[in-house]
Amino acid sequence: MQKEKNIAAVIPPLPVPSFTGGGGGAVKQEFTITVYTENQIGLLVRIAIIFSRRKINIDSLNTSPSEIDSVHRFTIVINETEEVVRKLCRQIEKQVEVLKTYYNNNDEIVWQELALYKVPTDVIAEQVQVERLLSQHGAKAVVIRKDYTVFEVAGHREETDNLIKVLEPYGLIEFVRSARIAIIKNSEGFHKKLKEFEYREPGEAITENEFLNQNEEVFSM
């Protein structure tokens, strides 16, 4: 077997540090899993099947850049026991292109979801109380057109849900909500952590398929 020079193994993969104080035991609760990864096509599937293989529903999933160029950040919300979440995190961290995985309960994070609401403009113009309700909920107009207006609200699930109920009687046309994004209160960010990964080279640029639009120019058999 080829013997690797074991440079990468200077740092132990610690047990996924939980900032959770009390043991969750066998009680299911909402956990937010934060995964720092390389940017690779196919990694989303690799992570997603860790959940689907065990028939666990993902409540919310967001991928975004992180504070570090080339490092991506997945934010995944599931409702499970801490024991299960810990095992899931170890499986995620085992993936070649995953740098680090954390999980936290709701007390340990600051989180937001963004919601958009499309409402008929005339209703808002004519009914003063709608305007008041919207400002009470911290809604901000994103687009105002003659026929409709789009508001946005950032907040927790209950807050954005509440506004749906409020707007429904006034002809809410469309509603959409984003996945959760979360900041770990206790986290010092990933810069320091990344150094522990023996930063020797930046992440690789992804290679996408450049040939899809050339099907008539390329010979094939």
Partner 1 sequence: METLEKIKEIKKEQSAQKFPLGGFRGLSGGEAVLEAFLAEDVDTIFGYPGGAIMPIYDALYDYNDRIKHILVRHEQGAIHAAQGYARVSGRTGVVFATSGPGATNLVTGLADAMIDSTPVVCITGQVFAHLLGTDAFQEIDVINITTPVTKWNYQVTDASEIPAVLAKAFYIAGSGRPGPVLIDITKNAQLQQFDYEGYKKCDHIRSYRPKPIVRKEYIEQAAELINNAERPFVIFGQGVILGNGEKEFIQFIEKAGIPSAWTIMGMSAIPTDHPLGVGMLGMHGNYGPNVLTNECDVLIAVGMRFDDRVTGRLDKYAKQAKIIHLDIDPSEIDKNVKSTVPVWGDCKETLPMLTALVQQKKHEAWHEKFKVYQQKEDEKCIIPEMNPITDELTMGEVINVLNELTKGEAVIVTDVGQHQMVACRYAKYNNSKSNITSGGLGTMGFALPTAIGAKFGAPNKTIIAIAGDGGIQMTIQELGTIMQFNVDVKILILNNQFLGMVRQWQQLFHGKRYSFVDITSPDFVQVAKGYYIDGQRVSEREKLKDALQTMLNHKGSYFLEVMVGKENNVFPMVPQGRGVSEIILSKEEL
- Residues forming the site for partner 1 (CB under 8 A): 1-2, 4-13, 15, 37-38, 41-42, 45-46, 49, 53, 86-87, 90-91, 93-94, 96-99, 197-201, 203, 207, 209-215, 218, 220-221
In contact, 104 and 111? CB cutoff 8 Å:
no
Closer to partner 1 by Cβ: residue 75 or 160: 75
CB of 67 to partner 1, least distance (A): 16
Token look-up 């950032």 returns: 154
Closer to partner 1 by Cβ: residue 13 or 138: 13
In DSSP terms, 79 is beta-bridged to 30
Distance CA 16, CA 21 (A): 14
Backbone angles phi, psi at 132, to 5 degrees: -65, -45
Closer to partner 1 by Cβ: residue 2 or 129: 2
In contact, 72 and 194? CB cutoff 8 Å:
no
Question: What letter would DSSP give residue 121?
Answer: H
In contact, 66 and 190? CB cutoff 8 Å:
yes
CB of 82 to partner 1, least distance (A): 12
CB of 207 to partner 1, least distance (A): 6
Closer to partner 1 by Cβ: residue 61 or 172: 61
